[in-house]
Amino acid sequence: MRTAHVLATLVTSSLLSLALAAPAQAASTIDYVALGDSYSSGVGAPGQSGSCMRSNTSYAAQWASRNDPASFQFLACGGAVTDDIVNTQAPAMRSGADLVSITIGGNDAGFAPTVITCLTSTDSACAAKVNEGKAYVANTLPGKLDAAYQAIRAKAPEARVVVLGYPLLFGTSSLICEMSIAKRRSLNSGAEVLDAMIKQRAEAAGFVYSDVRDEFSGHGACTSRPYINGLTIIPPQNSYHPNSSGYTNGYLPAFSGSAA
């Protein structure tokens, strides 16, 4: 019995010594800033609040919750365009950010009016509206993106900046959907053109581009397990934005894989 007691005491003492000797987990020193539009603020997910419709279910808020950065500035705002980055969001950044995420460009290219046209008009009218957006992306958006990225770099010269793209909105195999297959294909083709330009300008700026289309593949609106809301009446802004699964299983892993 005495031998067993001595052994137990030795084991306990050894474990305690190891615990005391183990270094404490270092606190995060990352200062993280989330910029951008509704796809970064969390529109489409529960818990939106304020005029910018920010949600704790957004990929940005989820990443901050899981990684406990030293500071987190949540500046993304529903409806934002590139000029908002230049004039409002980038100037509001605290100096010294280490990590920045952003989605931007969709509203510049006419996301909302294009979707409305496709919902309410013919296949040909939808295609024409998408083509207008493609022309804007080719001719005007590059300069707008460059200005936004330059504003970010000027405020955070050492930061790792992750530019996330947009998913294809629709699955195109199901016949049951509020839009025809032709309209869905038109809108998806617009997203592909937009993503290609965002990638080009992000990489030209020295930023990291993260393509989210793989994470959303097979999970567009009008699929059996959508990561994107279809037409939503209440609240209407949720229409064609990621749902909770889209932010958690789509955007969050796409960002997490590029943040380090």
- Active-site residues, by number, are 38, 241
Spatial CB neighbours of 7, under 8 Å, sequence gap ≥ 6: none
**Rounded to an integer, what is the distance from CA 111 to the centroid of its chain?**
16
Count other C-beta atoms under 10 Å from residue 98's C-beta. 17
Task: Calculate ∠ Cα 171-77-185, nearest 5°.
Answer: 20
Distance from C-alpha of 126 to C-alpha of 184, rounded to nearest angstrom: 9
Alpha helix segments (H runs only) across 73-219: 82-84, 90-92, 111-120, 123-139, 141-155, 181-204, 213-216
Q: What is the rounded distance in angstroms from the CA atom of residue 65 to the CA atom of residue 218? A: 28
> What is the 8-class DSSP label of residue 51?
T
Helix, coil or strand: residue 161: strand
Identify the H or E element spanning 209. strand 208-210
How far apart are the C-alpha atoms of 83 and 78, rounded to whole Å?
A: 13
